[in-house]
Chains A and B, each alone.
Chain A
Amino acid sequence: MGKITNEELLKKITGKFQEQVTTVGEPFGLLTLETGREQIIDVLTYLKNDPALQFNFLTDITAIHYPEQEKQIGIIYHLHSLVNNVRIRLKVFLVDGDVHIPTATVLWNGANWMERETYDYFGVIFDGHPDLRRILNVDDMVAHPMRKEFPLEDPNRVDKKDYFFGR
């Protein structure tokens, strides 16, 4: 376990941002918070630059799609404070059709490709990103394939019969 407990961490963050940050839970000891896109860069900046916290390592940025929810697209940030050896997870949920969020490349250069991957998979527009293009899929692809409505296999294919595969 790290040098700083999740309770202290939570107290510091809620002391600074009050209701703008809500707690989701602590699955497997990893403090998970939810915030809005208006404050996300402020929260990330605070976590990165506060001398007691120093979340200076951006582990990952990814997204998730919940088609049943009102706010369908969730952006998930994993940060790691190497000094305190503690991790934190931040979530921002966005309404489909308005999936804009400010870019984290202003804080970490490494956010560049993570955000491009998230854009490629989910169509999340990171405002202010220097080079927001598809990264893994072909440039002329229309869909964002990690959304749940995108089928795993092309439904128009005729050469693959389901009964060959016991489906």
Chain B
Amino acid sequence: MQNHPVYTDNDPQNELSTLNLGPTHPATHGVFQNVLQLDGERIVSGVSTIGYIHRAFEKIAEHRPFYQITPLTDRLNYCSSPINNMGWHMTVEKLLGIETPKRVDYLRIIIMELARITDHIICNGVLGVDTGAFTGFMYMMEYRELVYEIYEEVCGSRLTTNIGRIGGFERNFNAIAFRKLRKFLKEFPGVLKEFESLFTRNRIFIDRTRDVAAVTAEDALSYSWSGPLLRAAGVDYDVRAMEPYSSYEDFEFEVPVGSNGDVYNRFLVRNEEMWQSLRLIEQALVKLEKEPTDIFHADVPDFYLPPKEEVYNNMEALIYHFKIVMGEVPTPTTEVYHSVEGANGELGFYLVNDGGRSPYRLHFRRPSFINYQMYAPMSRGMLLSDAIINMSSLNVIAGELDA
């Protein structure tokens, strides 16, 4: 790969061709443009252009009260919206000094780990599609549907979930949600096992992915990679373990790491993370049995909207409702950085507050945005077909890339 001759622009023998890979290309699974210089099938250089679905969330957030920013976070990584939603809620709770009850923490962990599984299902399934195996993707997709049905029971929506509120959830988990969750826990491990048996020791899959786009730990750290990509390169950085939030410190789980950061290692790390997520959900269900079943939010009337029937019939609830909606509750003037382990890495929220009803400045540390900048440099010398599977295993989500 390294010994391949590279022609420059001034070279009379230059026979490079330019390829516009994207912005809309069936192989890129999203709005990504890369202008590639190709020598035959090898990539000589590439330039990434991003921002095709830039929606100015940080600017919009400066004009919205805290609780109305949740729907914006849905649209960052829309394959695992609940993690974004809850990351944002926890940031605000940290700012306001709200302590959530344990039951809320455990319920949140269930939803966040389900979201992590759906995200990894898509990433690893699509990696299979790009290497020529459609079956695994379709097979696993059924279980993403089941997870979405659980979201539906909890919050009413599926993809852009707007799940939960500042302080907890807007409603308690019902019996159907728990029944579907148990069904998922019963059936999904077998499916995941079958999925692994389709790929992990598959000769064709290994040949396509092993040593493709290998990244050293030094490079990964220098490019500020985080999440499964960094762990595949051998650095055991997981926000859940390093700075536990939402009571992750009560749980037992392992942080899987890879060795050389290639596409195959990333695949294995993501698969193992799904097993760990299942473990976390199982533990959370056991812990929930000891918690009172009627608690689903913290007692913070200043920030948690009261139930609608009380607003109509109870003066106090009406006042709180009015104060929250009109943003007349004082908030501390300070700044806070909170990060959660998103499906793609460290999802950070840097919130500067001036005491008003909306943030003075809100910045999202978006893992896809930061992970993707290595794509063009690392594609140099790579085969075009390898660059395609490299992109799917980076799991860049356009919404998180552009914000």
A residues apposed to B, CB below 8 Å: 27-28, 30, 32, 56-60, 62, 64-65, 76, 78, 82, 85, 87, 89, 108-114, 117, 121, 134-138, 145-146, 150, 152
Contact = CB atoms under 8 A, between A and B. Distances in A.
A111 B350 CA distance: 17
Nearest to A152: B63
B402 interface: yes
Given A62-B363, A136-B51, A136-B402, A85 B243 contact: yes
Interface stretch (B124-132, B290-298, B366-374): B366-374
A78 B373 CA distance: 18
Contacts of A137: 51, 54
Given A60-B350, A109-B223, A113-B370, A121 B58 contact: yes
- Which of B224, B237, B363 counts the most chain A CB atoms within 10 A? B224
B152 to A, nearest CB: 30
A59 B235 contact: no
Contact of A27 (B50, B59, B334, B373): B334
Contacts of A62: 350, 363
- 10 smallest beta-carbon distances between A and B, as pairs: A110-B224, A136-B51, A113-B373, A136-B54, A110-B223, A62-B363, A60-B365, A109-B222, A64-B361, A27-B334
A89 B369 CA distance: 21
- Which of A28, A89, A121 counts the most chain B CB atoms within 10 A? A28
Contacts of B363: 60, 62
B350 A146 contact: no
A87 B223 CA distance: 18
B315 interface: no
Interface of B: 50-51, 54, 56, 58-60, 62-63, 94, 219, 221-225, 235, 237, 242-243, 334-337, 339, 346, 348, 350, 352, 360-361, 363, 365, 369-370, 373-374, 377, 402-403
A147 B352 CA distance: 15
A112 B363 CA distance: 17
Given A28-B336, A78-B350, A82-B221, 6 more contacts: A59-B339, A78-B348, A82-B242, A87-B337, A117-B369, A152-B63
B334 A82 contact: no
B154 to A, nearest CB: 29
Contact of B58 (A85, A110, A135, A146): A146
B352 A64 contact: yes
A110 B370 contact: yes
A106 B50 CA distance: 23
A152 B60 contact: yes
A145 B350 contact: no
A117 B221 CA distance: 20
A77 to B, nearest CB: 11
Contacts of B222: 108-110
13 contacts: A28-B334, A59-B346, A59-B365, A60-B348, A60-B363, A62-B350, A64-B352, A85-B242, A109-B219, A110-B225, A112-B373, A113-B373, A145-B56
Nearest to B218: A56
Nearest to A76: B350
Contacts of A152: 59-60, 62-63
Contacts of B369: 113, 117
Contacts of A64: 352, 360-361
A65 B224 CA distance: 25
Contacts of B348: 59-60, 78
A78 B337 contact: yes
Contacts of B63: 152
A109 B94 contact: no
A139 to B, nearest CB: 10
Contacts of A150: 59
B30 to A, nearest CB: 15
Nearest to B335: A27
A166 B220 CA distance: 49
Given A60-B350, A109-B223, A137-B54, A82 B237 contact: yes
A136 B363 CA distance: 14
Contacts of A146: 58-59
A134 B58 CA distance: 16
A58 B335 contact: no
A27 B350 CA distance: 12
Given A60-B348, A110-B223, A27 B336 contact: yes
Contacts of B223: 108-110
B50 A58 contact: no
A57 B403 CA distance: 22
A110 B59 contact: no
Nearest to A64: B361
B336 A135 contact: no
B350 A135 contact: no
Given A64-B352, A76-B350, A57 B221 contact: yes
